[in-house]
Structure 1
Amino acid sequence: MERVRLTNERINSFKCPPGKSQAFLWDTETPCLAVRSTSSGAKSFIFESKLRRQTIRITIGDVRHWTLNSVWSGKGENKVEVQRGAREEATNLKMLVNQGIDPRQAKADQIAIAEARATQEAARQNAEAEAQRRTEITVADAWSKYIIYQKARMDRGGEKCWGERHLLDHEKLAQSGGIKKQIGKGITEPGPLSSLMPMKLSGLTSDALAHWLQDETAKRPARAALAFRLFRAFLRWCATDIRYSSLVSLDAINAKTVRDEVPRTKPKNEDCLQREQLAAWFLEVRKLSSQTISAYLQALVLTGARREELAGLKWSDVDLQWKSLTIRDKVEGERIIPLTPYVESLLLDLKRRNETPPPEYRISMGKRIKNDLEHWKPAEWVFVGASKTGRMVEPSPAHKRVLQAAGLPSLTLHGLRRSFGTLAEWTETPVGVVAQIQGHKPSALAEKHYRRRPLDLLRSWHTKIEEWILEQAGIEPLKNDATRTLKTVTG
């Protein structure tokens, strides 16, 4: 084993002899240090020693990158090692071996510790960044995720999932406005919740919510009350979601200062058809050019269904053999009610129209266009319309025209549902029967547990209600029970 005092000149002139793969030039000053030269011409400093009777050889580094001795800066106490030299590195490694420590394991431990520290630091920085990002989350950000979550539940179906109308309420109440109205002229107004959308979720204090309610109540109290209820449900959802639970406080929405600002809505006792108004109402409804909307409005009064329950009716929900309708409701998921004779006649007319193919050609923008009859198929919806989904568009404008022509006061579509329950009292139909037909929650203990009436029993009462309403409207059956007409009512 050749040993010399290593110098830069000797290192530069040292080469691996021909016929060998590598050669070593050992240092006399630091015996555990050597220069290794390979047949390819590569040179590196290496450390070699024995630990527990086993030879340890560690490559310190390329001689082009490592100096032989450390480079220092300053003097005395201010002396600082600027670059570690190979001799100093070998000396340190030898100290570890003398202590019974394998330098390779020590280096691996140092790397692991450094990586762990780096990982911890990265995690800390990420946590801080995430915490900062979370504080920037706005109400609109969480609201959009809330809507996506509820839509997914609607797609899956089941109990307590939203209906289309409930979803539409959320969308309208949060809309920013400024969009051209789909029906009528002008642009849409901002919804009551729109002013909350840009706010940070973590900034929803009781004071902020109280001021919001004050502003909205002054402009539209009924909508403000609805917006408050929907927003409270939204915050309760946020409190259960890991992404937002640390950002919201239910104490804010439940604070007395907020609850005191919620407008107290009065029951709409007048929002229903009176007995003496039925003839005028039915007369004008049956004059509507849209047979779909005409049938829809009449069916609302004669079934007591919610507007979206009926609007979402599909032909697969109509059983013409057993005379029943399957209604998707928001209380029990679905309910089955009788298909009464007059309502059946309305639906049969719509079914004939729906199953009649369009003509071979149509006129559009002054041009004669051929219809694609090959791919035509009947609509799945009972009440069809020109919307993207194929369902009937908003029937309220047509109903307002009916009320105006009949000289009747303002009446909402929900008022038609309310009318069914009110008018049914004239027939002395049991309250539980009416509630089961309309899909109301049972109120009494007996209704909850024992009084689930079969369809035939419901049919006898429901038909009685329908016949009484039609009688007051001046509509009587002809020979065919599925065809009825108007008669003149005097007195």
Structure 2
Amino acid sequence: MARIKLTAGRIRDFTCPTDKAQAFLWDTEAPGLALRATPGSEARAFVFQSKLNGKALRVTIGDVRAWNLDDARTEARRLQTLVDQGTDPRQQKAERIAAAEAKRAAAEAAKAEADRQARYTLRALCDAYLSALERAGKGKSAAGARSLFKCHIDQDTANKPARAVTAHEVAALVRRVREAGKERAAGVLRSYLSAAFNAAKRAPFDSALPADLIAFGIEHNPVDAIPAIAVQRGDRTLSAAELRAYIGHLLRIGHETGPELSDTALLLALHAGGQRMAQLLRAKVGDFDPDTATLRLWDGKGKRTQPREHLLPLAPHAAAMVAALVERAKARETERAKQEGRAPDMAGLWLFSTHGRVAMNPETVSNRAAEICAGIGGEPFNVRDIRRTVETMLAGLGISKDTRAQLLSHGISGVQAAHYDRHAYTDEKRAALVAWEARLEAIRQAERTPSNVVRLGQRAA
């Protein structure tokens, strides 16, 4: 093959004949170096060609627009040296490319991990878990957990990658709350953190859990090593005299229209058998059937994926209160619609709403109960203590445990309750509520027991 000393001008002017796929111009200065041209005025590159172990090899150095002549000659000499040493430069190039690719992949993995650490923090995990609770209809639980996370997880721990949080760090969080004298808060904080980590751990395998938890990459739950903190059960119940004072505060006439709405909520919860306030405040106009005097609540407590329907066949006084609330809600909607120049929309009206737009906050009612408690004096009590008092007094009236469980919507579970016991307990609940209203009236009138009430399970004399 003919050789010629390559120059910048010769490189510029060299082209491939139209009847050939490629053409070469071999250099006399660097062994094995050639200029290769293919059809197209700009399609020119430096190549190196030699023999290794009797077999020809060719390596492309690079495009003439990227390589100058001197650098191409230097590279050709280097490649010839490798051949003389028995090394295949193509293999070396492949190894160099593989090493560069591995380095690039490692850099990308490091960047991805850095992004994960910056994005998938403990705070982000808590937020994702809270969103999952809210989507499942557990708004009250989500609100309680959010408050605990905000108050008791320090910034350093909150900003740490969730998958890197250790059991020691979680234990320190729980310990600080417990040592501050907030034992119940410490136990609940531990429970919610454990639930968040467990949800993210199961998310890759459980289609019922949101996919956004998968990205946290949680493989173990650091809370598992921390013992659960037993919740101290409350045992406060009100005496008949205390309950009489409580009812008196709720029935007082504070203004011309009667008791405040929060007082009405407390009074209805009491007459309806000690219902949970959060569930009662979510009741809407459409949940009341005036023909049967039945109020429908929705119990979303526990691990239910869907709230359980909880029907209350109300006794006369409670039914009258609900009927009045229904009329109040409809009247307010009618007035708003008139002012806004539209037709009234009675669907979805809240029974307990100050302005009609949102349901009353359970905290508002709890605060009102605390005010009443302070006004009465004596040993403090709260709405949970009222609920406990109701069940205790219902038991005293001879109401069976099963009926009380149905009436107060306790944790009704197990194979029998979930799959076989389809009895609605409507008659039993109505009889219990009628007896309970009579008992409340007797307490209000300072009587020991109402003369017209017979303990259930016993015969009248």
Q: Same fold (TM over 0.5)?
A: yes
Residues 398 and 228 of structure 1: CA distance in aligned 2, closer, same or farther (over 3 Å): closer
2:50–2:80 Cα contact (<8 Å) kept:
no
Paired position in structure 2 for 1:12: 9
1: CA distance, partners of 2:377 / 2:25: 114
Partner secondary structure for residue 328 of structure 1: strand
Matches of 1:395 and 1:377 in 2, distance apart?
Answer: 27
2:187 is equivalent to residue 229 of structure 1 = yes
* 1:284 corresponding residue in structure 2: 249
* Aligned match of 1:455: 426
Asked if 2 retains the 8 angstrom alpha-carbon contact of 1:35 and 1:43, the reply is yes
Which residues of 2 match residues 35-50 of structure 1 at below 5 A? 35-36=35-36, 40=41, 44-47=45-48
Identity %: 21
Name the CA shift for 1:282/1:26 in 2 (closer, same or farther; >3 Å). closer
Query: What SS does the aligned partner of 1:391 have?
Result: coil
In the alignment, what sits opposite 1:338?
A: 313
Residue 456 of structure 2: aligned partner: none
Deviation at 1:389, TM superposition (A): 2.7
Match of 1:151? 134
Residues 250 and 244 of structure 1: is their aligned pair in 2 closer, same or farther, counting only changes over 3 Å?
farther
How many residue pairs end up in the alignment?
406
Which structure shows the higher helix fraction?
A: 2
Equivalent-residue separation in structure 1 for 2:42 and 2:439 (angstroms)? 110
1:109-145, Cα deviation, whole Å (9 max, x unpaired): 44752354124422553476368659x945x444333
**What residue identity is the alignment partner of 1:341?**
P
1:411 counterpart residue number: 381
Match of 1:374 in 2: 342
Summarize the alignment of residues 38-437 of structure 1 with structure 2, pairs less than 5 Å apart: 40=41, 44-47=45-48, 59-63=60-64, 66=67, 85=74, 87-88=76-77, 91=80, 106=91, 109-110=94-95, 113-122=98-107, 125-126=110-111, 129=114, 137-138=121-122, 140-154=123-137, 162=138, 164-175=139-150, 194-200=151-157, 201-202=165-166, 204=169, 206=171, 209-214=174-179, 216-217=180-181, 224-240=182-198, 241-242=200-201, 243=216, 245=218, 249-250=222-223, 253-254=226-227, 265=232, 267-270=234-237, 272=238, 274-286=239-251, 287-288=253-254, 289-290=258-259, 292-303=261-272, 304-329=274-299, 330-331=301-302, 333-334=307-308, 335-357=310-332, 371-374=339-342, 376-378=344-346, 380-386=349-355, 389-391=358-360, 394-400=364-370, 402=372, 410-437=380-407
Residue segments in structure 1 that go unaligned for 5+ positions in a row: 71-82, 155-161, 176-193, 218-223, 363-369, 476-491
Q: After superposition, what is the alpha-carbon deviation per residue over 1:264-311, rounded to whole angstroms, capped at 9, x for unaligned?
A: 8463324x3x33455544343232544533431122112221111111
- The 1:108–1:387 alpha-carbon spacing in structure 2 relative to 1, beyond 3 Å, is farther
Q: Is the 8 A contact 1:300 1:307 kept in 2?
A: yes
Q: Which residue pairs with 2:437 in the alignment?
A: 466
Letter in 2 for 1:346: M
CA distance in 2, matches of 1:434, 1:18: 99
Counterpart Cα distance in 1 of 2:110 and 2:76: 39
- Superposition RMSD in Å: 4.6
Pair 357,121 (structure 1): closer, same or farther in 2 beyond 3 Å: closer
Mapped partners of 1:3, 1:84: distance in 2: 14
CA contact (8 A) 1:68 1:87 kept: no
Unaligned runs of 5+ in 2: 158-164, 202-215, 447-461
Distance in 2 (alpha carbons) for counterparts of 1:41 and 1:450: 86
Letter in 1 for 2:400: P
**Aligned equivalents of 1:131, 1:174: Cα separation in 2:** 21
Q: In the TM superposition, what whole-angstrom CA distance separates every residue of 1:10-29 from its partner, at most 9, and x where no partner exists? A: x5356648995586433356
